[in-house]
């Protein structure tokens, strides 16, 4: 028996014992955790690889040729992803986001989109199926993604200035190609495209105003994201976080007047604003300065099939072990039960505790490229 199989079987046995002690729960329609937060969103990481080396996410020094990326056989297949996603939807998930690593690097990703797009919520509505990409391959893929049934798209873009953009992606990728990708997404029929900019103090913060001006009348929604202490590789420092309040101040000093917009759903991560002339929505994702754990309804499925209930979790729950090592007729029931158990015992609220417990930021955390942003 190969070394790699042993721990998986052991995990499956441990899960067996645990599941045997609790009553089976399947297709509940809705699940609440210990803080009364419903399970509504599922983020699925389809690859741990990326063609960028953003310094705040996959710095070159760590993610180099010696980095132990997952072998292909460790990744969930599209059929496995669909099977697990169906169980989450039966537990109340309404929105699925494909992410990574860079999701457009996963071969035939549009096939997975087509498979997931037919899912219906427990109320019979279409699933809100979205994808977050760095945009590098969007020019080539946008139409296929739209045709496959992707509902919406988010593009990450940290600068408009080409030199700064290349500094952020650290692989010399030109900003013009990402802007072409965004145009291709528009042409393919995507609307309300979201543009995510991570603002890192002392690095790309001078790009805030050009970005706000550029996207004001584009029809796209620009969102500023506070730099977070995810993973263990980016050397995060609190003084490099630019709080959203400071960005609003910067925009106002530059002559832009903003007015708040109401939130569209309770679990929304961004606070929404628009220019006072009614043109251009701007969002702020203030994970550090104004934690939104109280409404966090997101579960995350890692590239190799582990379930995480928080971006800052240290350990995941191995769904793949159950999926690949159980007898066929029991698999779905057991997986469904495990998902319910995990969610109903969830108490995560890392961002609310970050400032209270200084040792917290030092604890072991998984990488964003593995778990998906």
Residues binding ligand SF4 (CB under 6 A):
50, 52-54, 57-58, 100-102, 134, 156, 292-293, 296, 310-312, 348-351, 369
Residue located via tokens 């998906």: 372
Length of the chain as a residue count: 373
User: Could you say whether residue 100 binds ligand SAM (CB under 6 A)?
Assistant: yes
Residue located via tokens 């013009």: 176
| Angle between helical axes of 244-253 and 208-215 (0-180°, round to 10) | 70
Instruction: Give the residue, chosen from 132, 233, 244, 271, that forms a contact with ligand SAM under the rule CB under 6 A.
Output: 132
Minimum distance, C-beta of residue 228 to ligand SAM, in the bound complex (Å) = 4
Residue 312 binds which of ligand SAM, ligand SF4, none (CB < 5-8 A, kind-dependent): ligand SF4
Distance (Å, whole) CA 163 – CA 209: 16
Binding mask 150-189 for ligand SAM (x = CB under 6 A): ------x---------------------------------
Residue 348 binds which of ligand SF4, ligand SAM, none (CB < 5-8 A, kind-dependent): ligand SF4
Which CB, 150 or 225, lies closer to ligand SAM? 225
What do you get for the CA distance between the two ends of the chain, in Å?
A: 36
Instruction: Give the residue, chosen from 19, 42, 44, 57, that forms a contact with ligand SAM under the rule CB under 6 A.
Output: 57
Distance (Å, whole) CA 225 – CA 204: 12
Q: Across the beta sheet with 221-226, what order do the strands follow?
A: 258-260, 271-275, 281-285, 221-226, 194-199, 152-156, 128-133, 95-99, 41-45, 298-301, 306-308, 317-318
> Count residues contacting ligand SAM (CB under 6 A)?
20
Ranges within 330-369 binding ligand SAM (CB under 6 A) = 368-369
Residue located via tokens 């550090």: 288
Q: Which two tokens stand for residue 330?
A: 């029991």
Task: State the residues that interact with ligand SAM by CB under 6 A.
Answer: 50, 56-57, 99-100, 102, 132-134, 156, 196, 198, 225, 227-228, 230, 234, 368-369, 373
């Amino acid at each position: 028996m190969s070394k790699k199989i042993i721990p998986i079987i052991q995990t499956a046995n441990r899960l067996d014992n645990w599941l045997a002690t609790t009553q089976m729960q399947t297709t509940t329609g809705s699940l609440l955790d210990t803080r009364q937060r419903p399970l509504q969103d599922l983020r699925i990481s389809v690859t741990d690889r990326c063609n960028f080396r953003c310094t705040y996410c996959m710095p070159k020094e760590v993610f180099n040729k010696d980095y132990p990326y997952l072998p292909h056989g460790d990744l969930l297949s599209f059929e496995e992803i669909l099977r697990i996603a169906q169980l989450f939807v039966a537990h109340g998930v309404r929105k699925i986001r494909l992410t990574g690593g860079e999701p457009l690097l996963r071969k035939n990703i549009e096939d997975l989109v087509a498979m997931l797009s037919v899912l219906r919520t427990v109320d019979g509505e279409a699933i809100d199926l979205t994808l977050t990409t760095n945009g590098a391959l969007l020019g080539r893929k946008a139409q296929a993604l739209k045709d496959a049934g992707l509902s919406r798209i988010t593009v990450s873009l940290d600068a408009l200035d080409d030199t700064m953009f290349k500094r952020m992606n650290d692989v010399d990728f030109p900003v013009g190609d990402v802007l072409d990708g965004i145009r291709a997404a528009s042409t393919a029929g995507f609307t309300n495209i979201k543009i995510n900019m991570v603002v890192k103090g002392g690095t790309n913060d001078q790009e805030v105003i050009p970005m706000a001006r550029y996207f004001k009348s584009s029809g796209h929604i620009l969102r500023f994201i506070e730099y977070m202490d995810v993973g263990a590789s980016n050397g995060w420092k609190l003084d490099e976080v630019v709080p959203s309040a400071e960005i609003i101040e910067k925009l106002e000093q530059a002559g832009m007047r903003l007015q708040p917009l109401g939130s569209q759903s309770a679990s929304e991560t961004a606070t929404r604003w628009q220019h006072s002339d009614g043109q251009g929505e701007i969002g702020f994702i203030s994970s550090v300065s104004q934690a939104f754990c109280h409404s966090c309804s997101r579960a995350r499925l890692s590239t190799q099939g582990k379930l995480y209930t928080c971006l800052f979790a240290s350990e995941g729950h191995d769904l793949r072990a159950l999926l690949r090592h159980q007898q066929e007729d029991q698999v779905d029931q057991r997986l469904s039960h495990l998902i319910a158990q995990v969610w109903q015992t969830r108490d995560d609220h890392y961002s609310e505790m970050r400032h209270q417990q200084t040792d917290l930021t030092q604890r072991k955390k998984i990488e964003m490229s593995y778990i998906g942003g």
